[in-house]
Structure 1
Amino acid sequence: MKDELRPKGGSKEIGPDPGQWALWVNGMDRNYRPFIMPVTWLSFIASLQVTSVKDLGDTEKILSVKEATENLITEADDLFSENKYKELYELLYPYKESNDVEILWRLSRALHHMSKQQCHNEEKKRYVFEGYDLIVKALQLNDSHYAVHKWYAIFLDTRAAYDGIKARVTQLPNVKNHLLQAVELNPKDATTLYILGYCQNLLMLGKTYLKLEKDEKARYYLKLASLYPPQTDDDLQAIKEACDLLKNLEKQQQQ
């Protein structure tokens, strides 16, 4: 557009002289149409840009949280392999209110082993009950995790022991059911398989039924314990005790 065609004169507030404005318009290219982007499209593009930046930030945040959790789990497993249960507990304790099942069942596992090392009964009981509450929460969050079922079964039995022999016997079917679910979810887990066929566990069941004067059930579990293939010195001792109890049971019936 030529400068001489641009309207001159007129104040900024009032505008150019109408005659000069007409000359300027007549001198313009009639085919010229300035492109003005609609406000709606401007808003749409702006929203896309903002959303993209926001999504990118959220993605990076999710990835960083996931990486941090994986590092935490790795460190926890390293401590467990070194039998540093208290250090493991202290590492995971700040996250006990989280909904991360991987953290919750590992925290309950640490409490189980801490209770085994504890000599004071009240402290041992506190560890058991705290671990039980954590594994219950984990089971509510995810009932298809083998480790959750395994440790729920262990804590179910351990906690029931504080309510007496009858309560423990009552929970036995539930304990076995959760152990079986753990095996179904992970058939290669050695700990669960060991618990299900554990000689001392069979002996314990036999002795429990003896105290309840349920001789037939006592004989059943004592027989299983006596026939268990020994793998450790504890197994040998349990087998011997089971055989002795069976002999005493037979003598009592003959009298």
Structure 2
Amino acid sequence: MAGRKILHSWLQRLHSPLPRVTARSHPRAASTHIPVKTTFLGKGLVLSSLLAFGYYRWKSRHAVVHASIKVEDITEQADYLYDSGDTEKLYEFLNKFNNSEDAEILWRLARASHDLARLSTTAPDMKKRLMYESRDIAQKALDINESCSPAHKWFGICLSGVGDFEGIKVKIGNAYTIRDHFQRAVELNPKDATTIHLLGLWCYGFAELPWYQVKIAAALFATPPSSTFEEALGYFEKAEQVDPNFYSKNLLYLGKAFLQLKKNEVALKWLHKARDYPVRTEEDKEVHKEATDLLKSLGEKF
């Protein structure tokens, strides 16, 4: 459970229509003239010529899609689609550029692959393929541009997702790498509240590990990952300072961290904020329920 908590940092968006990116015909193909014989014996040559011409035009249009669209156009379209919440269309759009050498395109494709893998409607075998694909694409983005903050963030998220398919030893073994990439992402972009929140979740998850899991980790590694609720709280507070009320789950975990530290009065403030946060996504609904349950357990009446 602790490892999985690292994974749930992304926000699902509202649906809206998607404008299409269309390719323009290649000018040379449009103006090409192919002489055609009209004799009966020439019909085979005519058909061959027409097929060749059609293939040339198709190849030309296909090439133009990749050559004429600027990176900025692709990323703008991808961001619009991401904000619309249509994960399948986003993946379909970005996957056309899976051979790109631009980190801005690739980290967005990694995010789309990861999010598609997380959909409940995605088949189990496809989930696994997409999750490994997302990790590899994020790694490629980093290979191209180590200074790309979102590439570090999404490599950490996708590597954590891969851990679900590789067992507890690999998951714990990857924990330091995941944390290091989150930290590097924040170093490159100190205003990224989401990644700061992710670091808080990383710390909170290891701070609340039950004793038997701690023993397993200690048996597998000389220095297993560990943290404290104070450290987790520091990240949650920092995320809130960077972007107040940006995420219902950050509000919830502020409350939970204060509860763990026996500061119930302060915890109540954040739990109320989490409960009252506008419900727009499935995750917001889950946060609302958990915050409400915690408040009730603390004697709050509604």
TM-score by length of 1: 0.59
Match of 2:156 among 153, 156, 176: 153
Match of 2:251 among 232, 235, 246: 232
Structure 1 residues 86-165: aligned runs within 5 Å: 86-118=88-120, 120-165=123-168
Deviation at 1:203, TM superposition (A): 4.0
- Which residue identity is paired with 1:123? M
Q: Which runs of 5+ in 1 are unaligned?
A: 1-63, 244-255
Larger Rg: 1
Deviations 1:19-60 (A, max 9, x none): xxxxxxxxxxxxxxxxxxxxxxxxxxxxxxxxxxxxxxxxxx
Q: Bigger relative contact order, structure 1 or 2, given CA contacts below 8 A and separation 6+?
A: 2
Contact 1:161-1:167 within 8 A present in 2 as well: no
Structure 1 residues 186-201: aligned runs within 5 Å: 186-198=189-201, 201=202
- Which residue identity is paired with 1:110? A
Q: Partner of 1:205 in structure 2?
A: 206
Q: Partner of 1:75 in structure 2?
A: 77
- Which residue identity is paired with 2:86? K
Q: Partner of 2:63 in structure 1?
A: none
Match of 2:180 among 177, 182, 186: 177
Contact 1:73-1:103 within 8 A present in 2 as well: yes
- Which residue identity is paired with 1:173? Y
CA distance in 1, matches of 2:259, 2:224: 19
Contact 2:117-2:131 within 8 A present in 1 as well: yes
Q: Partner of 1:41 in structure 2?
A: none
Q: Which runs of 5+ in 2 are unaligned?
A: 1-65, 238-248, 263-302
- Which residue identity is paired with 1:177? D
Is the alpha carbon distance of 1:221 and 1:209 closer, same or farther for their aligned partners in structure 2, counting shifts above 3 Å? farther
Aligned residues: 180
CA distance in 1, matches of 2:92, 2:189: 28
Q: What percent of counterpart residues are identical?
A: 30
- Which residue identity is paired with 1:171? N
Deviations 1:56-79 (A, max 9, x none): xxxxxxxx9575332121111001
Contact 2:203-2:228 within 8 A present in 1 as well: yes
Q: Partner of 2:54 in structure 1?
A: none
Contact 1:209-1:217 within 8 A present in 2 as well: no
- Which residue identity is paired with 2:251? T
Structure with greater helix share of residues: 1
Contact 2:117-2:127 within 8 A present in 1 as well: yes
- Which residue identity is paired with 2:205? M
Contact 1:225-1:242 within 8 A present in 2 as well: no
TM-score by length of 2: 0.50
